[in-house]
Chain A
């Protein structure tokens, strides 16, 4: 899967003159970040939620979408994707605003006690409270390591496609064996405004982790001489006048061939990187945010950390622990957001007020 930014959201965010003022910003849209929306929602706190991926679900979606999870209470088994879909459905009443395809890059306390939160896309928030649900970090593309290749990044080497039009009419080499590599190869072969001059797909073996229909379509296009598929490993590059001109590919037969190109697209999947949280002035222990177990608040009042990113005595990295943490963090945050209000614990089964918040009818019992 390739992150495709939700342009509507990013454009709306960009068109704001100043930062977005809000009660709560959640950093990370994994299962715990999503459930944080729910717990805040019950306390009538609306949240903005940021994630580096272009979709919600975090590790559940990126690492194990189809693998079964057996330890969610009252759900005997569900996949990572099902868990994410159910959480998205569960938080629907609370209308959280998603800011996807961007990572939180800065977090600073302001003179008025609020936090200025900035993202890699320039979205800014002024928030009364911040909930860090960053898991094991933000997912970044895995890179192709070849001597001298890095300097061509964003001119001839790309790990994601932001604007397909820039590759029209070019000789493309696409590396990878997953859905992203296949989908983009098919996309650029197709007649239309983005059609490339030529497309060569390269993968280290003749087997793919991609939709069988895409693989079949790719093979048909190769048979029809509309594109080419090569089995091999990239082992070097060729340059002329500072430009990347060709990729050296060593095949299964041990022979190294030179493949000329204008543009190299690499899709090796994503892996998490913990990123800049250490720079936000929070108490950190082994790269995780130290929190109390009463409110899951960090060393900075108003900043909470929930899920895999926090640490405390006895911490276990379980989704269910994250859910518990999110509930207590929401109650812990309420006094910052509603200093005057007395916050009572209410039950979704019986509270007419919560029924209103959830947008459901209060059942009548005879």
Chain B
């Protein structure tokens, strides 16, 4: 089991979640965060922190986003750790309600 960062994070990357993670399991990409499944302890503290509800436990991931489970694991292998909150991208708010953002993901 692990928690998973979903599509809503792409181009929003608010980073509120990383401040509360007790085990520093967040990884930072250019325009999205991921959770390292080997580090996450399922404490769920990050879930309510995300302004766009981008984080869910693995078993709650909706059918159409199941690929994000594998994607989090994959991206976490190369992306660096992030443990402190930083300002969101200036246009984050414009992207927060957009769907189908996977094509926007920069690895």
Task: Report which A residues bind B (CB closer than 8 A).
Answer: 59, 63, 136-137, 142-143, 145, 271-274, 286-288, 308, 317
Of B27-35, B37-45, B62-70, B98-106, which binds chain A?
A: B37-45
Q: Smallest distance from the beta carbon of A175 to chain B beta carbons, Å?
A: 14
CA distance A136 to B42 in the complex (A): 10
B19 touches A (CB below 8 Å)? yes
Report which of A136, A137, A287 forms a contact with B39, defined as CB distance below 8 A. A287
Which residues of A lie under 8 Å from residue B41 when comparing CB positions? Answer: 136, 274, 286-288
Are A308 and B43 closer than 8 Å at their CB atoms? Answer: yes
B20 interface residue per 8 A CB criterion: yes
Give the contacting residue for A271; candidates B19, B38, B42; CB below 8 A.
Answer: B19
Given contacts A286-B38, A287-B39, contact A317 B44 (CB under 8 A): yes
CB distance from A103 to the nearest CB of B (A): 13
Q: Are the CB atoms of A145 and B84 closer together than 8 Å?
A: yes
Enumerate chain B interface residues (CB-CB to A < 8 A).
19-23, 38-45, 84
CA distance A342 to B20 in the complex (A): 45
Interface centre among B22, B23, B39, B84 (most CB of A within 10 A): B22
Q: Are B22 and A317 in contact (CB under 8 A)?
A: no
Interface contact A136-B22, CB-CB below 8 Å: yes
Q: A145-B84, A271-B22, A274-B22 are in contact. Are A136 and B43 (CB under 8 A)?
A: yes
- B39 surroundings in chain A (CB, below 8 A): 286-287
Taking A137-B22, A308-B43 as known contacts, 12 extra A-B pairs with beta carbons closer than 8 A to each other, sorted by chain A number, are A63-B45, A136-B45, A137-B23, A272-B20, A272-B22, A274-B41, A286-B38, A287-B23, A287-B41, A288-B41, A317-B42, A317-B44
Once the chains bind, are B43 and A317 in contact (CB under 8 Å)?
Answer: yes
A270 to B84, CA, bound (A): 13
CA A96 – CA B20 in complex, angstroms? Answer: 30
- Cα distance, A12 to B19, chains bound together (Å): 35
Contact partners of B22 in chain A: CB under 8 A: 136-137, 271-274
Contacts of A308 in B (CB 8 A): 43
Contacts of B44 in A (CB 8 A): 317
- Contacts of A271 on B, CB cut-off 8 Å? 19-22, 45
Complex Cα distance, B38 from A362, in Å, reads: 52
A63 / chain B contacts, CB cutoff of 8 Å: 45
* Cα distance, A145 to B85, chains bound together (Å): 9
For residue A14, give the distance in angstroms from its CB to the closest CB of chain B.
Answer: 29
A51 to chain B, nearest CB (A): 15
16 A-B pairs (CB sep. < 8 Å) = A63-B45, A136-B41, A137-B23, A142-B19, A145-B84, A271-B19, A271-B45, A274-B22, A274-B23, A274-B41, A286-B38, A286-B40, A286-B41, A287-B23, A287-B39, A308-B43
- How far, in angstroms, from A145 to B43 measured CA to CA in the complex? 25
